Amino acid sequence: MFNLLPPHQPPPFKFPPNVLLIQRFTGQTVINRKLMLLTCAEIINYHTKTNSMKKLFVFGAAFFMGISTFAQNVDEIISKHITAIGGAENWKKVTSMVTEGTVNVMGNDVNVKVTQVNNEGQRQDISVAGMTGFIIMTPKGGWMFMPFQGQQKPEPMTADDVKESIDDLDIQGNLIDYQAKGHKVELIGTEEIEGTECYKIKVTRKTSGEQTLFIDKASHLVLKVSSKKKAMGQEMDVNIEFGDYREINGIKVPYSIGQGFGTMVVTSLKINEAVPAETFSDPK
């Protein structure tokens, strides 16, 4: 849905590198081959060794039935999730989002404003201790200015930073029309998140790497997103938890986003407001 703070830049007050305050949801489709092959083996063993042609036929039928069954299961979960957050049609009407919120870090309130235009750009303005920095990301490039970290002028983002952020520019999220967008999904099991049973869906995005989504079995809302990100030459685990979902303009979004350093509370969310083109321009 929307992202706050880039996946590769430490925020003010020495946040852990690669911190994300809000992480977009994503998706893909695949088969649990281990279970599928076990089913095939059981069917084949049921028949006698002399029925080789019949076994081959049954194996082939079981194979394709397995593909259909597991693909259908993950697609059913994704379909229910999309319905729970307002439906694909409502999300496709969203062309821009302006989100504001605060997170308390070591006793300091950090104010964050995120401006997004679908698949065109994202700008994050971060204000703390009387200083304001920004991160701008577009499909072709990005820039960062963090005065509270000693930067004297805006600096361009690396090509890898841009690549890992491209799929996050999709306001709809990666699960809506995931196949058409080039993403893949796999149902890899279930897991409890603070006592709530969740589906675990592995998402391999077209450009920006893998994520694991934890979708509440009851509400079909995403409660957690886990991913591995690179920061300063090192790979690290990033986990973001979501809560306090609220409806606005027919879609449902989280107003509470938690990570190790604290929880961000969304205070304002505006949809489809006009965004000046220069918002995402090179800040020379």
* 138-158 confidence digits (pLDDT tens): 999 999 999 988 899 999 999
Mean of the pLDDT values across residues 121-145?
94
Phi, psi of 131 (to 5 degrees): -120, 150
What is the mean predicted confidence (pLDDT) over 164-180? 92
For residue 121, the one-letter residue type is G
- Tens of pLDDT, residue by residue over 17-54, are 333 333 333 333 232 323 333 333 333 343 434 344 44
Structure tokens at 75: 């697609």
Looking at domain 1-275, which CATH architecture does it have?
A: Clam (2.50)
pLDDT at 263 over 90: no
Q: Write the DSSP symbol of residue 167.
A: G
Tell me the domain boundaries of the chain. Answer: 1-275
pTM assigned to the model: 0.73
Tell me which long-range contacts 277-284 makes (C-beta under 8 A, separation of at least 24).
279/115, 279/117, 279/121, 279/123, 279/136, 280/117, 280/120, 280/121, 280/122, 280/123, 280/136, 280/137, 280/138, 281/136, 282/141, 282/143, 283/134, 283/136, 283/143, 283/145, 283/154, 284/154
* Dihedral pair phi/psi, residue 169, rounded to 5°: -80, -5
The stretch 202-221 carries a mean pLDDT of 94
